[in-house]
Structure 1
Amino acid sequence: MRILIVEDDPSISRLVKETFEDAGHDVLTATDGKSGEQLYTTVPIDAAIIDIMLPGLDGRELCRRIKSTIDVPVILLTALDEWGDKRQGFEHGADDYMTKPFIPEEILFRLQAVSRRYRRSAASHIQAGPLQLDLREYEVTLDGQLFYLPKKEFELLFQLASFPGRVYRREELIDLVWGFDFEGDERTVDVHIKRLRHRFNHPAISIRTVRGVGYSLEVNG
């Protein structure tokens, strides 16, 4: 994911940036609302983390402008844990709130949770080459042949097929498919990938292993 962080406190901005980069995401940063607006209107983004108290254009208004232009998750940061303040943010389209001070990893988990809801509501049907997936019916179609997969195999394939060519780390797939509170280990991903490869041996699609990193779905030809 490419994430826009708009925060005028350098230490907080650096902390959040490093947290998301360590998790494998691309990060854009801005220190005020106007420069944040310029970034998302010129570079595609997948999500935004925005401080409310920004110089010039404040975070709530920036959130509203983003939401009126592109449908991406937005989390607002605030130093005040007051319902009135949060209510205004939600009225401007925010998907979630974090109150300072916060644990950086919590922002990562919250954004992953919000992003899962977005994918499930916005993309119920996707296609990657000859592969088609219907999230409502949990159906997979390949060259006209219909398959029904176990739930987690389907959700893993759906995640990979949503962004063909994108490399997902094993721990990222655990968070996105099984949830961050999953008590198993990353070998679970390997087992499910092996099963998917066995089911779908097709020249036009393949699940590529990136050694030491994770997996990506490749559409060939």
Structure 2
Amino acid sequence: MEILVVEDDLNIQRLVRETLEADGHRVRATADGNEAARWIDGQVFEAAVLDVMVPGRSGFELCALLRANQEIPILMLTALGELTDKRYGFTAGADDYITKPFDPEELVFRLHAVARRYQKAVVPVIRFGDVTIDKRSQQLTIGTTCLTIPRREFDLLHQLASFPGRVFSREELIEHVWGLDFMGDDRTIDVHIKRLRSRLEGTDAIEIRTVRGLGYRLETQS
């Protein structure tokens, strides 16, 4: 993969670069957020590792900029471990957090895990146990029961199911499902989630979980 790395600690930047290159990836690295923003504007990346506190555009801003243009795995690499900072990152569109200091192997494992979620997203038919979510027909099947559900509900379920385990904020889900021009209340998401949970009561294969203070994620049966 072509991976963007933004880290102003040059020792850590070198460690991240060498770790990712050893894993077979191509890396473009910078210590400056403004330079990274210019690269994002003119280049397509396949993944990104972003430090939160860098000169120029912050990691949060770069994450949001990437999300506005590309659907790629994004890891936030930071010394900040507070819930508030994680909330900002997830709201901006981050897939996962790694707190410094970190084991290089953990970086690789987490990147692979997030990348697998994105690989699943391109499949038009998503299956978990007895649940089938068919993007082509816009139908949800649980066991032998086929349900045609309202489009917004289906799109919301498909978005969550495309990235199992990933936390989506209400703002992200509104952007993905309703679009940036949505003028309603973000509690609309809560209403649709409640309806989806009711429809999924007949299966143990998947469950939509609330992540307090952050948003929602879809969990699958182990």
- Tell me the equivalent position of 2:184: 184
User: Aligned residues, how many?
Assistant: 164
- Cα distance in 2 between the residues matched to 1:37 and 1:141: 45
* Alpha-carbon spacing, 1:160–1:52, altered in 2? closer, same or farther (3 Å): same
- Cα distance in 2 between the residues matched to 1:189 and 1:40: 40
- Tell me the equivalent position of 2:196: 196
- Cα distance in 1 between the residues matched to 2:127 and 2:171: 25
* Alpha-carbon spacing, 1:31–1:179, altered in 2? closer, same or farther (3 Å): farther
Q: Secondary structure at the match of 1:201?
A: helix
Whether 2:153 is the aligned partner of 1:153: answer yes
Whether 2:91 is the aligned partner of 1:115: answer no
Root mean square deviation, CA, Å: 4.4
* Alpha-carbon spacing, 1:199–1:179, altered in 2? closer, same or farther (3 Å): same
Q: Is the 8 A contact 1:207 1:217 kept in 2?
A: yes
Q: Is the 8 A contact 1:125 1:133 kept in 2?
A: yes
* Alpha-carbon spacing, 1:79–1:172, altered in 2? closer, same or farther (3 Å): closer
Q: Is the 8 A contact 1:207 1:215 kept in 2?
A: yes
**What one-letter code is carried by the residue in structure 2 that aligns with 1:115?**
E
Q: Is the 8 A contact 1:8 1:30 kept in 2?
A: yes
Q: CA deviation at 1:79?
A: 5.4
Q: Is the 8 A contact 2:5 2:30 kept in 1?
A: no
Q: Is the 8 A contact 1:197 1:206 kept in 2?
A: yes
- Cα distance in 2 between the residues matched to 1:178 and 1:51: 34
- Cα distance in 1 between the residues matched to 2:7 and 2:218: 38
Q: Is the 8 A contact 1:52 1:78 kept in 2?
A: no
Task: For structure 1, list consecutive stretches of 5 or more residues without a partner in the other structure.
Answer: 14-28, 55-75
Q: CA deviation at 1:193?
A: 0.5
- Cα distance in 2 between the residues matched to 1:134 and 1:174: 21
**What one-letter code is carried by the residue in structure 1 that aligns with 2:67?**
Q
Q: CA deviation at 1:147?
A: 1.6
- Tell me the equivalent position of 1:207: 208
State the TM-score, normalized to the length of structure 2: 0.54
Q: Counterparts of 1:102-181 in structure 2 under 5 Å?
A: 107-113=62-68, 114-115=70-71, 122-181=122-181
**What one-letter code is carried by the residue in structure 1 that aligns with 2:211?**
V
Q: Is the 8 A contact 1:209 1:216 kept in 2?
A: yes
Which of 32, 36, 41 is residue 17 of structure 2 equivalent to? 36
TM-superposition CA deviations, 1:22-62 (whole Å, max 9, x none): xxxxxxx9635x8425237559x9xx9955799xxxxxxxx
* Alpha-carbon spacing, 1:40–1:154, altered in 2? closer, same or farther (3 Å): farther
Task: For structure 2, list consecutive stretches of 5 or more residues without a partner in the other structure.
Answer: 47-54, 73-117
- Cα distance in 2 between the residues matched to 1:140 and 1:178: 20
